[in-house]
Amino acid sequence: MKQKLVISAIVIILMGLFGPPGWCEDTQENEEVSAIQNRIFQRSHEIDFDFGYIADDDFFNVYPVGLGYTFHFNENIAWEVVRAQYMFNSDKDLKKTLQNEFNVQPERFPEQRYMLHSHFVYKPLYGKHAFLNRSIINNEIYFFVGPGIVQYEWEYSTGETD
């Protein structure tokens, strides 16, 4: 039994040293392997629709609905030419609670009506994620900066609006 193990070990070592060439060597010398993949979509023009919820308003639940147009110069730089959003608002319970329980009336309630803005967009990161090993989600992380305006309607405690 020991003899068979020793002979088997010697045969394996000799086959590794003097066996046919190419068992463990790379036969494709110029094959380039890369983990970088180009973006699957290269857009020039983009029109998008959005909706959401703005959580930091004290007196109103704010639901923006908007439309935007973006021009992409290349895969890393774009200009969001315009984004217009209209705000649908509903009162929060805080107004009634302040009035009824604490007998406090704020002087005015700022209510957002619409937003209009434009941005320079820089997109340095692009990636793919596997979702439950069944599908791939492509994503891009971007940074933007630009001017914008917001229109507020001021509702005063006397009932007047501005």
Higher pLDDT, 86 or 9: 86
Q: Which sign, positive or negative, has the C-alpha torsion 32, 38, 40, 42?
A: negative
Q: Residue 6 falls within a domain, yes or no? A: no
- Provide the 8-state DSSP code for 101: T
Q: Residue 140 falls within a domain, yes or no? A: yes
- Provide the 8-state DSSP code for 27: S
Write down the pTM of the prediction. 0.64
Measured distance between the N- and C-terminal CA atoms of the chain, rounded to whole angstroms: 100
Q: Which domain holds residue 71?
A: 42-156
Q: Residue 162 falls within a domain, yes or no? A: no
Q: Residue 60 falls within a domain, yes or no? A: yes
Q: Residue 64 falls within a domain, yes or no? A: yes
Confidence of residue 82 (pLDDT cuts 50, 70, 90): very high
> How far, in Å, CA of 62 to CA of 64, rounded?
6
Q: Residue 2 falls within a domain, yes or no? A: no
Count Cβ neighbours within 10 Å for each residue of 49-86 and write b for 16 or more, e otherwise. eeeeeeeebebbebebebebebebeeeeebbbeebebe
The three-point CA angle 95-99-103 to 5° equals 145
Number of domain units in the chain: 1
The whole-number pLDDT of residue 25 equals: 58
Mean pLDDT value across residues 101-116 = 81
What SS3 class is residue 30? coil
Q: Residue 37 falls within a domain, yes or no? A: no
Tokens of 24: 């463990």
Across 22-36, 77-91, 142-156, least confident range = 22-36
Q: Residue 21 falls within a domain, yes or no? A: no
